[in-house]
Amino acid sequence: MSPDTAPPDLTVIIPTYREEENIGAIVREVSRTLADHSIRGEILVVDDSSPDRTIPLVRDLERELPHVRLVVRSADPGLSQSVVEGFRNARGAVIQVIDADFSHPTTLIPEFFRKIHEGADVVIGSRYTAGGGIGEWPLSRRIISLGATALGRILFPEITDPVSGFFAVRREVVEGAPLQPRGYKILMEVLGKGRWTRAVEIPYTFTNRKEGASKLSFTTILAYAVQVADISAHAFSRREGPAWRELRKILRFALVGLSGIVVNTGILWALTERAGLYYLYSSAVAIETSIITNFLLNDFWTFGGESGHRMGRRIYRFLSFEAVSLGGLVVNMAVLFIGKEIFGIYYLVANLLGILAGFIWNYLVNRNVTWRSLPLDDTQ
Ligand code: GDD
Ligand code: MN
């Protein structure tokens, strides 16, 4: 059989490192799935010079199956780097990424492919949306995964699993994108720097690897935090794209918060010094006034126009904002108290941590409850 000359419709990238127990079976399974659904696809194995039998096994498969290709890397090893190398070598109009260890169900590949044909730019296999799940993970891995997901959702709130390793993209999304791969979270990089507007998710249940061991380590967590900061900086410098729209909300929300401090202080001063009111009465009025001005600025500016202009909805949002602000006060004071009493931190410093915690609380709850936005494709 001679290899097809026309480019395939789909490239399935399988990054591997020491996968001799899985690689033969996974390539055959993907191959069969593509054939069953009449998808003209190629399978691209990207290996980081595995010292085991992975490479010779794939060489054998290459001879047997015309649509299988192997790329062997010898420098700068890493999962994300390998996936990006895969992007560069892919010939398909659609690119799918899947693990070699059967953690991701290959039977879903045709569904990913179909979603792209239906107009999605990015299709994400999600463990955290209704119908998805994780296998029996140890508590430590659950916590790390949830933390990483939460951090990622700050920039991509509509995506429940922004660190998934199981996803598909239209090739234009990653073509020419300034991806800086590192660590495990290549999808975050794609979402942060790729060109896309429509993302959809497909629920799936993560299956623990049958053979071999997971290579996830603690340094990958640090690399991930650096990556999120880098994506934010990128979004800030470009001032476009989904991550920028979220970052802009965070910055506006922070500015509004600062304006609230000015309003609060000004009214406290004016009512006490000029109107001769008892300072705690002045403070109550000052606090409520700043909550109202903060609300109005956020409603018209920070989250401008996203949640509708009907008066009833606005009053509902205002009440929600009040309640969240009250919660923020409690968070602030709790951190102050715990910081001072338990960790012995100087109270003014502990209070700064409290303010930060209160800000994060206020932003996240208001963003996701008070101003819960419309689906991704309807914003802008
Ligand atoms: N080329 C290459 N180089 N491949 C690698 C490397 C590497 O340094 N490290 C891991 N891989 C391959 C593995 O062979 C496997 O096919 C896939 O990448 C995932 O590696 P695992 O070690 O099995 O990852 P995991 O199960 O801990 O992590 C999974 O969950 C993450 C989300 O929590 C993966 O699906 C990740 O992709 C995902 O981000
Ligand atoms: Mn795995």
pLDDT digits (tens, 9 = 90+) for 346-364: 999 999 999 999 999 999 9
pLDDT class for 224, splitting at 50, 70, 90? Answer: confident
* C-alpha pair distances (Å), 281 with each of 53, 248, 295, 332: 77, 35, 21, 21
Ligand nearest to the CA of 134: 1
- Tell me, what's the pLDDT at 145? 84
**Substitution site in 14, 102, 184, 191 for ligand 1 pocket (most atoms within 8 Å of beta carbon):** 184
Work out which ligand 1 atom sits closest to the CA atom of 100.
16
Q: Tell me: the pLDDT tens digits for 229-279?
A: 999 999 999 999 999 999 999 999 999 999 999 999 999 999 999 999 999
Least confident of 20-29, 113-122, 175-184, 330-339: 175-184
Residue nearest to atom 37 of ligand 1 (CA): 165
Q: What's the average model confidence in pLDDT over 311-323? A: 93
For 64-98, b/e burial (b = at least 16 CB within 10 A) is eeebbbbbebeeeebbbbbbbbbbeebbbebbbbb
Residue 172 has pLDDT above 70, yes or no: yes
Q: Rounded CA gap, 259 and 292, in Å?
A: 12
Residue 81 has pLDDT above 90, yes or no: yes
Q: Rounded CA gap, 107 and 84, in Å?
A: 24
Q: Looking at domain 10-238, what is its CATH homologous superfamily?
A: Spore Coat Polysaccharide Biosynthesis Protein SpsA; Chain A (3.90.550.10)
Residue nearest to atom 31 of ligand 1 (CA): 165
Contact 33, 100 (CB under 8 A): no
Contact 83, 189 (CB under 8 A): no
Ligand nearest to the CA of 164: 1
Which residue(s) pair with 14 in the sheet? Answer: 45
Least confident of 173-182, 217-226, 230-239: 217-226
* Residue ranges of domains in the chain: 10-238, 242-370
Residue nearest to atom 35 of ligand 1 (CA): 165
Least confident of 52-66, 139-153, 302-316: 302-316
Q: Rounded CA gap, 272 and 264, in Å?
A: 12
Q: Tell me: the pLDDT tens digits for 48-61?
A: 999 999 999 999 99
Residues in the chain: 380
- Tell me, what's the pLDDT at 266? 96
Residue 374 has pLDDT above 80, yes or no: no
pLDDT class for 136, splitting at 50, 70, 90? Answer: confident
Residue 2 has pLDDT above 70, yes or no: no
- Tell me, what's the pLDDT at 140? 81
Using a 6 Å CB cutoff, which residues line ligand 1?
Answer: 15-17, 19, 46-48, 77-79, 82, 99-101, 103, 145, 163, 165, 184, 209, 214-216
- Tell me, what's the pLDDT at 376? 42
Residue nearest to atom 8 of ligand 1 (CA): 78
- Tell me, what's the pLDDT at 308? 67
Average pLDDT across the chain, whole number = 91
Work out which ligand 1 atom sits closest to the CA atom of 14.
16
Dist. CA 214 → ligand 2 center (Å): 5
- Tell me, what's the pLDDT at 262? 96
Longest dimension (CA), the chain: 93
Q: Rounded CA gap, 341 and 71, in Å?
A: 57
- Tell me, what's the pLDDT at 273? 96
**Substitution site in 76, 96, 103, 106 for ligand 1 pocket (most atoms within 8 Å of beta carbon):** 103
Query: Please, what is the angle between helix 242-269 and helix 347-365, to 10°?
Result: 130
Residue nearest to atom 13 of ligand 1 (CA): 16
Least confident of 54-68, 124-138, 149-163, 301-315: 301-315
- Tell me, what's the pLDDT at 213? 56
Q: DSSP for 263-324?
A: HHHHHHHIIIIIS---HHHHHHHHHHHHHHHHHHHIIIIITTTTT---HHHHHHHHHHHHHH
- Surrounding ion ligand 2 within 5 Å at CB are 101, 103, 209, 214
